[in-house]
């Protein structure tokens, strides 16, 4: 088990070109999406939404909005991860509904007051996007476990993507683009700093 987990992390790499004719199954896609859904989130507010794009013309248009990076158009499915913004308002029905799950009954009011103070002091858009990146990491790991490849794409024009997908910019920000498929390239050697340079054991 311990080795299996690390094998999966070693297996994942940023794929720069997918085999355009190799389609992933709906079952596999849904497992990847489920890994996103089950991810942890600050205040349990599940700040993400996923738009799974598999139509060829839409993937081509998305590629253009991602500075023409070929891994976007060649992927089997491109998951566009949206970060909620308006729904995170402390007075929203959404916040009350989700926080009531963790803080039932009389516990809800003080929890909402705490969240209201946090919300006022925080760059909510950046915070929401950060939660989405946690979901994205889990989705990439799940994909690798299924033998699929991915590439996190942070290089995109958010306004172009919103226009393309009809996203309301008052409600959602584009967090990350995640193409999923079968890679056309072999995995490069992992380049990482050693733990000795990264960790202090105290």
Which listed range, 10-18, 41-49, 53-61, 102-110, lies at the site for ligand FMN (CB under 6 A)?
10-18
In the bound state with ligand FMN, the residue whose beta carbon lies nearer, of 93 and 123, is: 123
Q: Is 154 in the site for ligand FMN (CB under 6 A)?
A: yes
Give the one residue of 32, 151, 180, 183 binding ligand FMN; rule: CB under 6 A: 151
Sheet holding 172-181, edge to edge: 48-53, 77-84, 172-181, 149-150
Which listed range, 23-31, 34-42, 147-155, 159-167, lies at the site for ligand FMN (CB under 6 A)?
147-155
Residue 151: CB minimum distance to ligand FMN, A: 5
Written as one string, the DSSP assignment of 31-69 is: HHHHHHHT---GGG---EEEEEE--HHHHHHHHHHTTT-
Q: Is 76 in the site for ligand FMN (CB under 6 A)?
A: no
Q: Is 100 in the site for ligand FMN (CB under 6 A)?
A: no
Q: Is 13 in the site for ligand FMN (CB under 6 A)?
A: yes
Strands (E), 69-171: 77-84, 149-150
Give the one residue of 63, 69, 128, 141 binding ligand FMN; rule: CB under 6 A: 69
Can you tell me the distance from the alpha carbon of 42 to that of 177, in angstroms, rounded to the nearest whole number?
A: 21
Which among 28, 53, 50 is positioned nearest to 37, based on CA atoms?
Answer: 50
Which among 122, 131, 114, 144 is positioned nearest to 176, based on CA atoms?
Answer: 131
Can you tell me the distance from the alpha carbon of 171 to that of 101, in angstroms, rounded to the nearest whole number?
A: 23
Q: Is 14 in the site for ligand FMN (CB under 6 A)?
A: yes
Beta bridge partners of residue 177, listed in sequence order: 80, 153
Query: Which letter does DSSP use for residue 201 in this model?
Result: -
Which listed range, 9-17, 51-59, 73-81, 98-106, lies at the site for ligand FMN (CB under 6 A)?
9-17
Query: Which letter does DSSP use for residue 182 in this model?
Result: -
Residue 100: CB minimum distance to ligand FMN, A: 32
Residue 16: CB minimum distance to ligand FMN, A: 6
- What residues line the site for ligand FMN (CB under 6 A)? 13-14, 16, 69, 151-155, 176, 190
């Amino acid at each position: 088990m311990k080795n299996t987990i690390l094998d999966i992390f070693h297996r994942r790499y940023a794929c720069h070109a997918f085999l355009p004719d190799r389609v992933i199954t709906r079952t596999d896609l849904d497992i990847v999406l489920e890994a996103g859904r089950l991810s942890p989130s600050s205040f349990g507010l599940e700040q993400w939404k996923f738009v799974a794009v598999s139509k060829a013309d839409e993937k081509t248009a998305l590629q253009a909005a991602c500075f023409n990076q070929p891994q976007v158009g060649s992927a089997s499915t491109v998951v566009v991860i949206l970060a909620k913004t308006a729904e995170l308002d402390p007075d929203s029905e959404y916040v009350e509904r989700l926080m009531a799950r963790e803080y039932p009954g009389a516990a809800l009011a003080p929890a909402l007051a705490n969240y209201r103070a946090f919300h006022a002091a925080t760059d909510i858009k950046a915070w929401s996007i950060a939660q989405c990146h946690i979901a994205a990491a889990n989705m990439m790991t799940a994909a690798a476990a299924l033998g699929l490849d991915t590439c996190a794409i942070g290089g995109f024009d958010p306004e172009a993507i919103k226009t393309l997908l009809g996203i309301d910019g008052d409600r959602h920000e584009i967090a990350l683009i995640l193409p999923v498929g079968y890679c056309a390239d072999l995995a490069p050697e992992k380049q990482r700093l050693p733990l000795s340079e990264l960790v202090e054991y105290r």
